[in-house]
Structure 1
Amino acid sequence: MSTTPAQLSLELNVDQKRIRDVLRERYGTLPEGVARWDLDDEQAEFVRSRFGSASRGLDPKQWTLEIGDTVLRREIHAAYGGQEQGGIVTPKSIPDILVITSPESGARHGYDAFEGLKEDGSFLYTGEGQYGNQVFARGNSALRDATATGRPIRLFTKQGTSVTYVGEFTTGDPAFTIAMIPDSDKNPREGIIFKLVPVVADVEALASRPEALIETDRATSWIPPESSPYVVGAAPVPSDRLASRIEFALQADFGRWIEERGETPQTLALASAGATIKPDLYVEESGWIVEAKKSPAREYVRAAIGQVLDYALLARESGRAAIPVILLPSRPVAHLERLLSELEIILIVRDGDGFSVIE
């Protein structure tokens, strides 16, 4: 059975670069087209003999896994300790918090509607506790406080008894939301939905489906958004596209204005890094990719700039005409208008019962 440098790094508490260096000294470089070492018994024993085992337990534990490494979960626990069950592991030998996600397991518990990679690049993860309301204790409290305590979050995907290291994450803003989720008996209860954002990670490894199978680059019929996202008595549900009444009304009125111009407002789905992202509106005749914001304040305009340029590039890469447009309820300060002009972003603002296009 073969052994990898990742496995040996856990066993020996040695950085993988050092392991690869001694392998190259002894065995030369890898053949062309081979990306990773896959060691036979002789090669593995050579590495063990070079680094020895006598002083292994004396060294402080260090993080040795690299993005993309796949190891057995029990090998991680043998190296660092920590809870052998559950998705949030807090070893005492290192400050790192290990988070293990499994789409299959999540689906069995009904978490798949809440977890996963989102279009803003964050990853939503459901807290610990299969029955009753989830509370901030043990792993949940450690994950909530990770940024304040300076603890790195190490995210893994699970495949059977193996796990693959995705990379280092931290908590987003907000770090969590509370939502009504099912327990293991399908009864509703309050659940903690953590928002994790990458520091150094391969986020595409978190895609629930291969990008080729995601139904994207599709322009479909546009439906005016509801004027209010609020439902009396409903539990809060995390959503990266939850908007205010002002923004919904702005989009709805703008869509009708587009129709009055003889053009067709549409919804466009685009693929990016394993996620599906959608601009607020797409007008095929003009090529407008539209991002709406509820306010002309600087923070909203800055956010809209990044979003609409991202959408426009993805649309152009898919072969569509794409002109970035930002939709606001009123004009921003002059400096921001000059910035939009310099970036060749069209500004459209509400003007009485209609809208004004500011090129």
Structure 2
Amino acid sequence: MPLITPASLSLELQVDQKRIRNVLRELYGTLPTGTTRWELSEEQADAVRSRLPASEASKERQWTLEVGDTVRRREIHDAFRGQQQGGISTPKSIPAILIFTDPKEGAKFGYDRFEGLREDGSYSYTGEGQEGHHEFLRGNKALRDAAADGKTIRLFRTSGTMATYVGAFTTGEPVYRMETIPDASGAPRSGIIFNLVPVDADTTLLPPYGGERPASATITDWTPPNHSDIVVAQDELVTTGERVVSRVEFELQADFGRWLESQGHVIKRLTLPTESSTIEPDLYVESNGWIVEAKKSSGRAYVRTAIGQVLDYAHVARRAGYTVTPVILLPGHPERELLQLMTSLDITVVVRRGDSFHALQPNH
């Protein structure tokens, strides 16, 4: 017999789950200790149905699922209509686009290659189309235009016939990028990779980009970044979560790392697991605990971004048991008040000085 929960009843009756749980408590009392959700028999569900007057069920479709709810995918489509096949559904009964991801099944069509939760909290989602090049038709077009059309993107992670509601998303900047992905036979094709950012979601329910996240922090050898391998499509602070930076930034990282090594310091890569993804600072100076975030400019926007990033790295590293100092590496002097701000946050600021590097003092 199919499992019935307040979530599935809310889809059927179009009644808020809080109202349904209130009725259940009136009828059956509170949940037993250790039980986290209602699992109803058909008789109990009928009792709830009989207690909710027909007038309470709105004729207009409304969104009743809560983040973390798991229901049958069929129940979602029965409630809101829309396409039952494919990963993108565009029901006309609600202002939303429903998207579904199944990492295991998606791997058969090359969808896992560029899909997952990124370091910056965005989610890369591969467009629909199992054969041939992706085009902006049907679901792909609707997803691209979701923000402009005023539609919420609602993401589900599926397994078999069940779907877990991850939450509400919108499109980021840029909205998408094109990548070469394989089809079911392994032949290369052009794929649309959408850049989605959470509005109200539990991103821990999503798989990380690039595979399983490590259970603990890992330290590996550092090698100077090779800037010749980097292609910069546009000069923006915000990207899709890739470590897309300019030649200046990579040269700065490489030169600083080599200079530190010449001073006898040990440079490593430190990968830090978070609740939902992994993050990695530009440099980890193991010999003195410096966690370094480099920026190609000392302009205010770049410095503000670096402050948030390096404090996040330091917080996660300390939680993992490391004694660290946050360091921002810049090509030149920032404004005095920005230096004072970073000093007040116990951030060390390092700038290039000819062939060497220098840690600034707040009165400089």
TM-score (structure 1 length as normaliser): 0.94
Structure 2 partner of 1:123: 123
Contact 1:130 1:183 in 2 (8 A): yes
2:314 paired with 1:312:
yes
Query: Partner amino acid for 1:240?
Result: E
Question: Which ranges in structure 1 are unaligned for 5 or more consecutive residues?
Answer: none
Q: Distance in 2 between matches of 1:72 and 1:198?
A: 23
Q: Distance in 2 between matches of 1:74 and 1:113?
A: 28
Structure 2 partner of 1:4: 5
1:272-315 deviation digits (Å, cap 9, x = unpaired): 12311110000112110000111111111111111100000111
Question: How far is the alpha carbon of 1:183 from its aligned partner?
Answer: 2.2
Q: How does 1:74-113 map to 2 (within 5 A)?
A: 74-113=74-113
Contact 1:217 1:269 in 2 (8 A): yes
Structure 2 partner of 1:240: 242
Structure 2 partner of 1:162: 162
Q: How does 1:290-309 map to 2 (within 5 A)?
A: 290-309=292-311
Q: How does 1:39-188 map to 2 (within 5 A)?
A: 39-52=40-53, 56=57, 59-188=59-188
Percent identical pairs in the alignment equals: 57
Query: How many residues in Structure 1 have an aligned counterpart in Structure 2?
Result: 353
- Give the root-mean-square deviation of aligned CA atoms: 2.0
Structure 2 partner of 1:22: 23
Structure 2 partner of 1:221: 221
Contact 1:228 1:248 in 2 (8 A): no
Question: How far is the alpha carbon of 1:196 from its aligned partner?
Answer: 0.8
Q: How does 1:192-207 map to 2 (within 5 A)?
A: 192-207=192-207
Given the superposition, is the C-alpha separation of residues 279 and 213 from structure 1 closer, same or farther in structure 2, using an over 3 Å criterion?
Answer: closer
Contact 1:328 1:349 in 2 (8 A): yes
Given the superposition, is the C-alpha separation of residues 88 and 212 from structure 1 closer, same or farther in structure 2, using an over 3 Å criterion?
Answer: closer
Which of 313, 337, 353 is the aligned partner of 2:339? 337
Q: Distance in 2 between matches of 1:231 and 1:95?
A: 38
Question: How far is the alpha carbon of 1:356 from its aligned partner?
Answer: 0.8
Contact 1:229 1:244 in 2 (8 A): no
Q: Distance in 2 between matches of 1:97 and 1:130?
A: 19
SS, match of residue 282 in structure 1? strand
Q: Select between 137-146 and 244-253 the one with higher mean Cα deviation.
A: 137-146
Q: Select between 259-268 and 329-338 the one with higher mean Cα deviation.
A: 329-338
Q: Distance in 2 between matches of 1:267 and 1:283?
A: 8
Runs of 4+ in 1 over 4 A off after TM superposition: 52-56
Q: Distance in 2 between matches of 1:272 and 1:358?
A: 31
SS, match of residue 163 in structure 2? strand
Question: How far is the alpha carbon of 1:42 from its aligned partner?
Answer: 2.0
Contact 1:89 1:98 in 2 (8 A): yes
Question: Which ranges in structure 2 are unaligned for 5 or more consecutive residues?
Answer: 233-238
Structure 2 partner of 1:257: 259
Contact 1:103 1:208 in 2 (8 A): no
Given the superposition, is the C-alpha separation of residues 239 and 5 from structure 1 closer, same or farther in structure 2, using an over 3 Å criterion?
Answer: closer
